[in-house]
């Protein structure tokens, strides 16, 4: 009897196990509030100058984005993937003292940074939460709007994250999505490489979870703006 096929089977089993273990440990690293790979070597100051610098369209057009979001005073808005808190602060101003912004981040140090920033700016209506790769970790029916700017394409488990967002939204709640236009041959090469899908792909994925596109605005060069409303899950 030849041992070669047995050896080959054992080796491939070992390889599968090693790959699965590696994937799991990478996932649980971010699940525990650690920075995702692309942010790991950056300080908060470096992230601030990356996200809050002129030349980044979401930053340059932040007032237009906020206006388009049409946040109502008194509303509860979850700023998911809040980064350094750029939009958290603007949303906190927009919802006013009767409203609330929940800044949700997968990175614990960013959550701590946002909490400090909100306190220093005098916003008592900002709460923070650390989430995981697969869930925003918010209670059911807690938010009127989920704001996602330059975040959806970072979701490694978009279906699970969006399912948890669906659950966190109240009936009729909305998702505001700001994402890169990904048009091969037209968009910048780094966008085509970095962003895994275009507007149609992301819209179809989000609608499949239990959302309906209700508004689309084209006022930016590199980004699009879409609003979805929560509907019953199929």
Nearest approach, Cβ of residue 9 and ligand SAM (Å): 36
- The residue (of 75 and 162) whose beta carbon lies closer to ligand SAM is 162
- The residue (of 75 and 102) whose beta carbon lies closer to ligand SAM is 102
User: In terms of DSSP bridges, do strands 143-149 and 169-180 run parallel, antiparallel, or are they unpaired?
Assistant: parallel
Q: Which residue has the tokens 């925003």?
A: 136
> Phi, psi (5° rounding) for residue 190?
-65, -30
Which of 61, 75, 76, 83 is in the footprint of ligand SAM by CB under 6 A?
Answer: 83
Contact 232, 210 (CB under 8 A): yes
Nearest approach, Cβ of residue 13 and ligand SAM (Å): 31
DSSP 72: P
Return the SS3 of 227: strand
Degrees (nearest 5) of the Cα angle 138, 178, 73? Answer: 60
Nearest approach, Cβ of residue 107 and ligand SAM (Å): 5
Which of 75, 78, 131, 209 is in the footprint of ligand SAM by CB under 6 A?
Answer: 131
Q: Hey, which residues does 178 pair with through a beta bridge?
A: 149, 225
154 binds ligand SAM (CB under 6 A): yes
82 binds ligand SAM (CB under 6 A): yes
Instruction: Give the DSSP letter string of 46-71.
Output: HHHHHHSSTT-HHHHTHHHHHHHHTP
- The residue (of 16 and 137) whose beta carbon lies closer to ligand SAM is 137
Nearest to 71 by CA among 164, 175, 152, 161: 175
105 binds ligand SAM (CB under 6 A): yes
Site for ligand SAM in 9-48 (CB under 6 A): 36, 39
Nearest approach, Cβ of residue 114 and ligand SAM (Å): 10
Q: What is the CB neighbour count within 10 angstroms for residue 187?
A: 17
Nearest approach, Cβ of residue 224 and ligand SAM (Å): 14
d(CA 93, CA 73): 9
- Which structure tokens are listed for 183? 């048009």
Q: Could you give the string, one character per residue 159-178, with x where binding to ligand SAM holds by CB under 6 A and - elsewhere? A: --x-----------------
Which of 111, 149, 169, 177 is in the footprint of ligand SAM by CB under 6 A?
Answer: 149
> Phi, psi (5° rounding) for residue 124?
-90, -5
Nearest approach, Cβ of residue 213 and ligand SAM (Å): 20
Q: What is the contact surface with ligand SAM in residues (CB under 6 A)?
A: 36, 39, 51, 58, 80-83, 86-87, 104-107, 110, 131, 133, 149-151, 154-155, 161
């Amino acid at each position: 009897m030849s041992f070669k096929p047995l050896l080959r089977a054992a080796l491939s089993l070992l390889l599968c196990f090693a790959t699965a273990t590696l994937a799991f440990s990478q996932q649980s690293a971010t699940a525990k509030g650690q920075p995702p790979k692309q942010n790991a070597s950056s300080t908060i100051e470096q992230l601030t100058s990356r996200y809050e610098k002129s030349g980044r369209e979401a930053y340059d057009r932040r007032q237009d984005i906020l206006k388009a979001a049409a946040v109502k005073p008194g509303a509860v808005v979850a700023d998911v993937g809040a980064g350094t808190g750029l939009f958290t602060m603007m949303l906190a101003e927009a919802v006013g003292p009767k409203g609330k912004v929940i800044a949700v981040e997968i990175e614990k140090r960013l959550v701590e940074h946002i909490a400090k920033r909100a306190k220093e700016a005098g916003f008592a209506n900002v709460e923070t939460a650390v989430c995981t790769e697969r869930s925003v970790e918010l209670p059911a029916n807690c938010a009127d709007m989920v704001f996602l700017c330059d975040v959806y394409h970072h979701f490694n488990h978009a279906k699970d994250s969006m399912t948890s967002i669906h659950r966190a939204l109240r009936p009729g709640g909305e998702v505001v999505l700001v994402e890169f236009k990904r048009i091969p041959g037209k968009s910048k090469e780094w966008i085509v490489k970095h962003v895994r899908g275009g507007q149609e792909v992301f819209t179809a994925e989000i609608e499949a979870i239990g959302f309906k596109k209700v508004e689309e605005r084209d006022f930016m060069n590199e980004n699009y703006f879409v609003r979805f409303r929560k509907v019953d899950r199929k």
